[in-house]
Amino acid sequence: MMSLLLSSVKLSAVGQTPLARQVTYRTQAPQDTQAGIADYQSRLGASAGGWAYALGHCSAGSFSACTTTPDSADPAFSGVPDTSCTTSAATATRSTPGDPGYFGWVVTHGSTSGYNEEYQYVVDSAAATATGGAVRLWVTGRAGTSGRYTCTTEEVDIAGPTVETVSSLSLLPPAACTGTPQPVTLPSATSGATYVEIQATGGAGAAGA
């Protein structure tokens, strides 16, 4: 099971945009960040074990600990953010998808020739492991027209699945109901076990018992 935590929100507005439009853009931009979060979560959930996507892709252009690169099949998955978010063109991009230095935008509404809404994200999955860990996701949504945007960035932490490991399994021999104790071998202190579970089943009784 994975859990998601919204860590922070950052807003920035375009000073050249008329006030009435700024209000509209500020309302719409956060919705585009949510679309980006949903996109990443969908890709994560569709991968093996609901977590393989985190292990396979990371924004290497932004985080030195990354050992993988952005997903070349996902145009929103950027290696670095567009630092000119509020003033860049609607079709702004750098390099090619999958490269550490790539960034790009995905349009959710409108047209790049007029009003539009877009999102992109960078991902730090260096702490993700096969048995859990965590991913930190920065999603930027923007609303406006080419070169005049209001941008919103949300930082999200996603915890990986919890995996239970059985360190040892002991099958006890059948025992008579005489009250004689049956020894159970406890896991070693280095096994990582946090509890011991004992299950007992009954059998058919003997004649006269």
Structure tokens that stand for 151 in this block = 């941008």
- Tokens 């949504």 belong to residue: 141
Query: Order of strands across the sheet with 3-12?
Result: 3-12, 148-159, 134-145, 116-124, 106-110
pTM: 0.72
Q: Which of 4-8, 146-150, 182-186 has the highest mean pLDDT?
A: 146-150
Helix (H) or strand (E) holding 41: helix 19-46
Residues 47-63 pLDDT 10s: 998 999 999 999 999 99
Q: Would you state the pLDDT for residue 15?
A: 41
Of residues 192 and 26, which shows the higher confidence score?
26
In Å, how far from its chain's centre is CA 175? 50
d(CA 111, CA 83): 22
d(CA 141, CA 143): 7
Q: Would you state the pLDDT for residue 28?
A: 83
Closest alpha carbon to 135 in 76, 65, 61, 34: 65
Task: With a cut of 50, say whether residue 85 has pLDDT above it.
Answer: yes
Residues 13-60 pLDDT 10s: 454 555 545 556 678 888 999 999 999 999 999 999 899 999 999 999
Q: Is the dihedral of CA 23, 21, 12, 30 positive or negative?
A: positive
Give CA angle at 50 (142, 37), nearest 5°.
10
Domains of the chain, by residue range, sit at 3-159
